[in-house]
Amino acid sequence: KPRLFSGMQPSADSLHAGNYIGALLQWKQLQRDYDAVFSVVDLHAITVPQDPATLREKTRRTAAQYIAAGIDPSASTLYVQSHVPAHAQLAWVLNTITGMGEASRMTQFKDKTAKQGADSASVGLFTYPILQAADVLLYDAEIVPVGEDQRQHIELTRDLGQRFNTRFGETFVIPEVSILKETAKVYDLQNPGSKMSKSGETENGILWLLDEPSRLVKKIKSAVTDNDGSIHYDPVGKPGVSNLLTLLSVLGGTSVESLEHEFAGRGYGDLKGAVADAVVAEFGPVRERALELLADPAELDRVLAVNADRANEIAEATLARVYDRVGFLPRR
């Protein structure tokens, strides 16, 4: 089977609807046809300050949510990034073939530092995309299923892989990005002009996977819409309504067009009710399962350790190839 790689940062207690719909749903689908490797990328998380005890907890919670959402840790490889030293080691090598100019063009860094300025950001946040390239290239991944916001990072991954191959000889598989058009970007319910994000400013705009059902319903009922009163898909003119239609379409398995027919002449309250039902039906069981898994952290840690062994085997082989190609003296 061809290899697949993807990951998420353990940067909040819960994943959100953007993570779930943009990435996890794809992962779940693709894991059947691919030799899938899914990482909880804690090395990435520390590029912004983290409280150590909380980070450990968030890492477990993220892993538990992968499993609860349907990632099978005995068929796929589900591990914690810091358990595999080769990520940091390959990132160093890739740092040395990345230009300052191309690293400076990464829009996510610019967005994340827009407010406080780049000078107060860590160098780690700046080189973050290079570590991400190392993640993907280490596993000879052919595809990387992500949301739209990761497109540029995977483009850089391809560039660095190709550059290394050209300079040092065929070493890396060059990956393709997999982004589903309909779910590439889920928007904040309170601020439907911006993507739903863990660092979102409005708590009510974010649907957390681990939210209690009643909270999910409340947030959906108070989602920002518009005054036009008609239900149709128009992401520019009607971003709030369009976002709700996307959520309902993806979770209910109905096309946006048939939803437009179904809701023609009906009010936003009806649409929100249907979205709330669909979200609660989808997230509810995931939440229950995740809480069950988290009730036995020792077992979860055991599963992660076994998976880390598998990940290490693949990653070490790639790193050995790289070290040889760049001309490092073998230890003996």
Interface residues with ligand TYM (CB under 6 A) are: 5-9, 18-19, 22-23, 41, 44, 132, 135-136, 144, 146-147, 149-150, 153, 185-186, 195-197
Residue 148, marked binder? yes
Structure tokens at 56: 């450990």
Cβ nearer to ligand TYM, comparing 9 with 307: 9
Q: Name the residue nearer to ligand TYM (CB basis): 23 or 93.
A: 23
Of the candidates 266, 202, 204, 205, which has an alpha carbon nearest to the alpha carbon of residue 232? 266
For 55, how many CA atoms within 13 A lie in the half-sphere containing its CB? 17
Measured from the CB atom, the residue of 9 and 98 that comes closer to ligand TYM is 9
Q: Quote the CA–CA distance of 271 and 135 in Å, as a whole number.
A: 40
Q: Is 198 annotated as a binding residue?
A: yes
**Structure-token pair, residue 300:** 């979860």
- Classify 143 as helix, strand or coil: strand
Residue 100 is assigned to a ligand binding site:
no
CB of 238 vs ligand TYM, minimal distance in Å: 18
- Closest contact distance (angstroms) between CB of 262 and ligand TYM is 24
Which one-letter DSSP state was computed for residue 186? P
Q: What is the 3-state secondary structure (H, E, C) of 192-220?
A: CCCECCCCCCCHHHCCECCCCHHHHHHHH
How many alpha carbons lie under 13 Å from residue 211 in its C-beta half-sphere?
24
On whether 149 is known to bind a ligand per the annotation, the reply is: yes
Q: Which residues are catalytic?
A: 112, 195, 198
Is residue 199 marked as binding? yes
135 assigned to a ligand binding site: yes
74 is in an annotated binding site: no
d(CA 173, CA 162): 9
Residue nearest to ligand TYM (CB): 22
214 annotated as belonging to a binding site for a ligand: no
C-beta of 329: minimal distance to ligand TYM in Å? 30
Cβ distance to ligand TYM smaller for residue 129 or 227:
129
At residue 66, the 3 state secondary structure works out as helix
Name the token pair of 251.
């979770």
Nearer Cβ to ligand TYM (149/155): 149
CB of 266 to ligand TYM, least distance (A): 27
Instruction: Give the Cα separation of 169 and 52 in Å (integer).
Output: 40
Residue 189 and residue 207 in contact, taking contact as beta carbons nearer than 8 Å: yes
Alpha-carbon gap, residue 159 to 78, rounded angstroms: 26
Nearer to ligand TYM, 71 or 186 (CB): 186
For every residue of 6-18, DSSP letters joined together read: EEE---SSS-BHH
Beta strands 176-178 and 143-145: pairing type?
Answer: parallel
∠ CA 116-117-118, nearest 5°, is: 130
- Assign 227 to helix, strand or coil: coil
Closest CA to 46 of 54, 37, 38: 54
Annotated binding site for ATP: 9-11, 18-19, 147-149, 186, 195-199
Annotated binding site: 9-11, 18-19, 135, 147-149, 186, 195-199
Annotated binding site for L-tryptophan: 135
